Chains A and B, each alone.
Chain A
Amino acid sequence: MSRPGRDDSPDRLYTLTGGRARSAPDNPFDLVTLVVAECDPATGMQSEHAAILRLTEHPTAVVELAAELKLPVSITKILLSDLLAAGRVSARHPRAVVSDPDVLEQVLVGLRNL
């Protein structure tokens, strides 16, 4: 099975993110943050940015984007933070279960209906 990032040269990942190897500590994206495109891909855009905008026409989780882009999660988050800062995507962050226990009941109902 081909695994994202495993056989990529580090140089490629370095170039993708302008040299940033890790997402900043204040990077707001969680693995399951749902990302939604706020604009269409445009010519001249970095190809990974354009790919993200195509993938997020419907809400798509960060981890799904990483898998589809075949990039490590941390690199994907850096790309997303750039798009978020530019207003090209919006982010729907997970609600903490701790602050919303009703979610647990909703999860149970959803699972029982499977």
Chain B
Amino acid sequence: MDSATSDARTPLGAAADNGLKIVVVGGFGVGKTTLVRSVSEIRPLNTEETMTKAGEAVDDISEVRGKSATTVAFDFGRITLDARNVLYLFGAPGQERFWFLWDRLFSGTLGAVVLVDTRRIGDSWYAIDRLEHHGTPFVVACNDFGGPAYTPRQIREALDLDPHVPLLDCDARSRASAKQVLISLVEHVKGSYGTQGPARLQVPVPHQELAL
């Protein structure tokens, strides 16, 4: 550890005043950090949040190994969008013990990318369920690992994906591909606002009423 770390920092412009969040969530080894790295203007950094057991409902003791706090590590990168807006991309684990930190860490997030390895599709179920529960808009991006090709319909069925959720293929190593994933997400978020105003975003869309 030397001063090179600090010297390598790329400072934001003086007018930057609005940080935005997009979370990339997925199973271990699915390419979250790779995707973040592909589009980030800084080398992805790693940090973590801890939560003490006292007073907190959720804790998986097996993960703590005798420590008094649960720790969740996450990577992040940064994209300067314009003079004022800075987008932070967070790569976050999808497993259960992560989600109790969601409200604290990622409240107010613009949206989420669920990164899927089609060889291990079950890794994504929990994340999708939680995002739906939180009312966070998301897209599903299948990272290309060269596995067998599935049709979008097969993947949608396997994920039990709501028809309005965009599903796309990507190569997390490619800057252009990662960029397109983010654009698709923001377009989807924009669409979620629709003409009914932003207040609708957190409200579940009512099912078609049945004539009784």
Interface set of A (CB-CB < 8 Å, partner B): 1-6, 10, 21-22, 30-34, 55, 57-61, 63-64, 66-68, 72-74, 92, 94-99, 101, 103-112, 114
CB atoms of B79 and A111 under 8 A apart = yes
Interface size on B, residues (CB 8 A): 55
Residue of B nearest to A13 (CB): B50
For residue B78, which residues in chain A have a CB less than 8 angstroms away from its CB? 61, 64
For residue A72, which residues in chain B have a CB less than 8 angstroms away from its CB? 47-50, 71
CB atoms of B52 and A21 under 8 A apart = yes
Rounded to whole angstroms, the CA-CA distance of A110 and B81 in the bound complex is 4
Rounded to whole angstroms, the CA-CA distance of A62 and B73 in the bound complex is 15
Residue of B nearest to A62 (CB): B19
Rounded to whole angstroms, the CA-CA distance of A4 and B45 in the bound complex is 10
Interface centre among B39, B50, B189 (most CB of A within 10 A): B50
CB atoms of A96 and B108 under 8 A apart = yes
Contact residues of B between 30 and 46, Cβ < 8 Å to A: 39, 45-46
Whether A95 contacts B47 in the complex (CB less than 8 A), given A31-B105, A68-B6, comes out as no
CB atoms of A94 and B19 under 8 A apart = yes
CB atoms of B48 and A106 under 8 A apart = no
Residue of B nearest to A94 (CB): B19
Q: Quick check: is B68 within 8 A (CB to CB) of the other chain?
A: yes
Q: Quick check: is B190 within 8 A (CB to CB) of the other chain?
A: yes
Q: Which of B117-125, B149-157, B178-186 contacts A (4 or more CB under 8 A)?
A: B178-186
Interface set of B (CB-CB < 8 Å, partner A): 1, 5-6, 9, 11-14, 16-21, 39, 45-52, 68-69, 71, 73, 76, 78-82, 85-88, 90, 105-108, 110, 175, 179, 182-183, 186-187, 189-190, 193, 198-199, 201
Residue of A nearest to B189 (CB): A104
Contact of B47 among A63, A92, A98, A107 (CB under 8 A): A63
CB atoms of B71 and A5 under 8 A apart = yes
CB atoms of A110 and B88 under 8 A apart = no
Pairs across A and B, CB under 8 Å, 7 listed? A1-B46, A5-B50, A31-B88, A59-B14, A108-B187, A110-B82, A110-B85
CB atoms of B87 and A30 under 8 A apart = no
Contact of A4 among B47, B81, B105 (CB under 8 A): B47
